[in-house]
Structure 1
Amino acid sequence: MSLVAASIVVLLMMALFLGAGVWIFAGLIMVGVGALYIVLDFDLIRIGTIATKVVSSSAVSWELAAIPVFIWMGDIIFRTDISQRLFRGLSPIVSRIPGGLLHTNVIGCTIFAAISGSSNATTATVGKITIPELLKRGYDLNLASGSLAGAGTFGLLIPPSIAMIIYGVLAEVSIVKLFAAGLVPGLLMAFLYSGYIIVVSFIKPGAEPANVEKASFRQMLRGVWDLVPILVLMLLVLGSIYSGLATPSEAAAVGVAVAILITVFTGQFSIKMIVDSLMTTIRISAMICLLIAAASFLSAAFAFMHLPVQITEAIANMNLSPIGVLVILALLYIVLGMFIDGTSMTVMTVPIAVPLIIQAGFDPIWFGVFLVIMIELSALTPPVGLNLYILQGLTTVGLGRTVWAALPFFLLLCLGTALLVIFPQLALWLPGLL
């Protein structure tokens, strides 16, 4: 069967199974089975043997052990008063910056992302405190909700990132280097967001309330004290990884231990909290591992069909420039992000996208950062932009207004992506030092 015919068969099966509301992992498996049965005429016994080997090998990767442990660490912190401490600690520090407390969204998400690894958890944890406080004090609703929607995506980009672990396993690249590659672009995005807030506060009357009290130096020092627990946790986790003292999985275990100690020292520890956080971790981890296993089987089916090689050769024969290849992939990810979540998008596309970008001359570590930013964009695009729905629940305003509020920060993410393409060393400089 030709490339075009095989691609049409695969796309039709994906539209049928995923469009019918089948669970994504089950849909991917059915597409793989259908592709091998229809396109290659494999019998069911042979397909079962392939599935058993692929799924068993994909489920025992040591790097995947970091995922449930990081999820557990983030969920423990989510159940504490860290969000209140973040707001109390950052409020006096940012009070003298134009835009005032609006910066608590950006800086708070940047800090929390360094211990969460999840965009949704970052948005919900920071937003449950900052949004009510900002609105109560008279800050602009659009800036308050839009900045949180955009900054909440830092949970994917700033390490430790679950999305980067999944990409690293699928693309077979160093997760430590991926973590290092995401740090500078993540800080760049935070700088762009805060810069935008500063500019808007100058040109738009009412963006922040008038006569806001400026904190004293003593109040700033007290604010730093509130930030100590989360900063210690962040430094221990990231410091142990970048120093080479621990693998990401080992650093995640250290993070869980420190997170539990924080709950003990702050008087928030309980057996119920630990059990509840474990149950949440099991559910989320099982979902992710099922997706990875299903995607690995689908990738194997594609490999038997020679689809990745044929697609790579077909695009190479189009004589597109490397930027042209990136534009095609970016448009594909933005469209996909309107309908499926970032994890599913990653596991479905990496087997085909990585050979393409290597053929085009891009570093796979750099592409990991590019892909994560594409997933960040998908978190801000309806109808499946989860950050938008979290914001809608926090602000109780319509989805249309929430989308409009997030639009400037969506465009800033696009600007950051352009800077990453023009200056690839933004992502590659720090990994080059490891």
Structure 2
Amino acid sequence: MDAFLTGLAVLGLIVLYIGLGTWVFAGLMLVSVTSLGLILDFPVDRIGAIAKSILWRSSSTWELVAIPLFIWMGEIIFRTDIADRLFRGLTPFVARIPGGLLHTNVTGCTLFAAVSGSSAATTAMVGKITSSALADRNYDTNLSIGSLAGAGSLGLLIPPSIVMIVYGVLAEVSISRLFAAGLLPGLLIAGLYSGYIMLRCFINPELSPKGDERYRLTDRLRAILDLSPVLALIVIVLGGMYAGLVTPSEAAAVGVTATLAITVLMRELTWRIFVDSLMGAVKVSCMVCSILVAAALLSTAMGYLHVPAELAKAIDALSLSPYQLLLMLALFYIMLGLFLDGISIVVMSLPITFPLATMAGFDPVWFGIFLVLMVELGQVTPPVGFNLFVLQGITGHPIGRIAYAALPFFALMCLGVVIITLFPDIALWLPRQMFG
């Protein structure tokens, strides 16, 4: 029980440092050093030796190479004409179904998520094109903003996903299996969103005014040509991984090379875009990787404190069923999502929640998908919902209105969590077929 109380004290320190506005990297390092030095009374030289070993080992993991490369892919695409082409390419295929061009939000985010790996990048990339286009065509503002907020979060679930890489490194779970496991749940969530849009617009057709455009076969063939850059990148990156030709890290390198080649062929790549995208990727990658190495040290400190083991014992003593435990973890993650970004949620909570989930019998790959969905929920909940901030910057609407518009899609994502919990094979079938 002493270790359990110590764990609560450590969690309190984390909340205190983050609440004071400390950088997440610095806050995690301070908590780790404080725990080892004050609680365990380790001498300074031993703390230094532990920190040196852990920081070097965690920062030199080969799988981390994929993070800056996937981020760079998204940065290049964000600065070129590919997003405009994506909207033009999708329009002839969705214009005549209930909801019309609102489906470009969902479909566009789904496709872009497959080459981005970032929720904020997906939301910003698609949102900067579709939000103004839908407003000009008098589509319902709340449905437009809400679908963007919800579908933008698919950047975390549909592979390649930065959060999945982080989880895979920390939990020592195959990243290739995680990528395969995220595909069908991602399509399920996208299907729920599109189904909701169709239902709403079928009940109230005024939400999506009918267009006068008539699209012929030649228009659709031209649209496929506009979609070809994104489709080519999806085939190259995901196809290479699922065919077993490349690892996730190698796929990221191939993807960046293909992105550069495609933008050159499109005459979109300039020296300014190259430098700006590279610097953007460096900044985001340094942030992500610094948090990761600090989280590795925190995990070690928690291990020395026996916090995961004691928490597991305490929860085991409550005699919770696996589903009750999962509900408790879901509420815990939704609370964290109110205040923290996705990567911070994963690295700070995983040393505690991962042992609990595996002890309860949940598959580590499935739990990774569950955790990503929990992080996605945090992307659309104020006050620290990153997708909400992105959309506020794009649309100029108050954050409260954006959060209200996103509420139905938050509920649909919760429904998606329930579905994959009741039917875990939705996440596990594809990796089992591909990797045995």
Q: In which range does the TM-score fall when normalised by the shorter chain? A: over 0.9
Contact 2:98 2:198 in 1 (8 A): yes
Shift of 1:15: 2.9
Shift of 1:394: 1.8
Shift of 1:211: 4.8
Contact 1:9 1:35 in 2 (8 A): no
Shift of 1:212: 4.1
Query: Aligned partner of 1:44: which letter?
Result: V
Aligned to 1:111: 111
Unaligned runs of 5+ in 1: none
Aligned to 1:365: 365
Shift of 1:343: 0.4
Aligned to 1:392: 392
Alignment pair present for 1:344 and 2:347: no
Aligned to 1:265: 265
TM-score scaled by length of structure 1: 0.98
Contact 1:180 1:431 in 2 (8 A): yes
Matched residues in 2 for 1:17 and 1:423: separation?
Answer: 39
Query: Aligned partner of 1:420: which letter?
Result: I
Aligned to 2:60: 60
Sequence identity percentage? 56
Shift of 1:47: 1.0
TM-score scaled by length of structure 2: 0.98
Query: Aligned partner of 2:30: which letter?
Result: M
Aligned to 1:121: 121
Aligned to 1:173: 173
Aligned to 1:229: 229
Matched residues in 1 for 2:251 and 2:413: separation?
Answer: 29
- Deviation per residue, 1:68-98 (Å, 9 max, x gap): 1111111111111111001100001101211
Shift of 1:299: 0.5
Contact 1:95 1:214 in 2 (8 A): no
Q: Following TM superposition, where does structure 1 have runs of at least 4 consecutive aligned residues deviating by more than 3 angstroms?
A: none
Alignment pair present for 1:377 and 2:363: no
Q: Tell me which moved more, 58-67 or 39-48.
A: 39-48
Aligned to 2:193: 193
Shift of 1:411: 0.3
Aligned to 2:356: 356
Unaligned runs of 5+ in 2: none
Query: Aligned partner of 2:176: which letter?
Result: V
Aligned to 1:319: 319
Shift of 1:10: 1.1
Shift of 1:279: 0.9
Aligned to 1:404: 404
State the superposition RMSD in angstroms: 1.1
Matched residues in 2 for 1:150 and 1:88: separation?
Answer: 21
Aligned to 1:256: 256
Matched residues in 2 for 1:427 and 1:12: separation?
Answer: 34
Contact 2:4 2:310 in 1 (8 A): no
Contact 1:96 1:215 in 2 (8 A): no
Query: Aligned partner of 1:402: which letter?
Result: I
Q: Tell me which moved more, 371-380 or 386-395.
A: 386-395
Query: Aligned partner of 2:241: which letter?
Result: I
Question: Do the aligned partners of residues 212 and 331 (structure 1) sit closer, same or farther apart at CA in structure 2, a change above 3 Å counting?
Answer: farther
Contact 1:66 1:248 in 2 (8 A): yes
Query: Aligned partner of 1:127: which letter?
Result: G
Aligned to 1:84: 84
Alignment pair present for 1:293 and 2:287: no
Matched residues in 2 for 1:204 and 1:390: separation?
Answer: 28
Aligned to 1:331: 331
Contact 1:110 1:154 in 2 (8 A): yes
How many residue pairs match? The answer is: 434
Contact 1:184 1:426 in 2 (8 A): yes
Matched residues in 1 for 2:78 and 2:211: separation?
Answer: 33
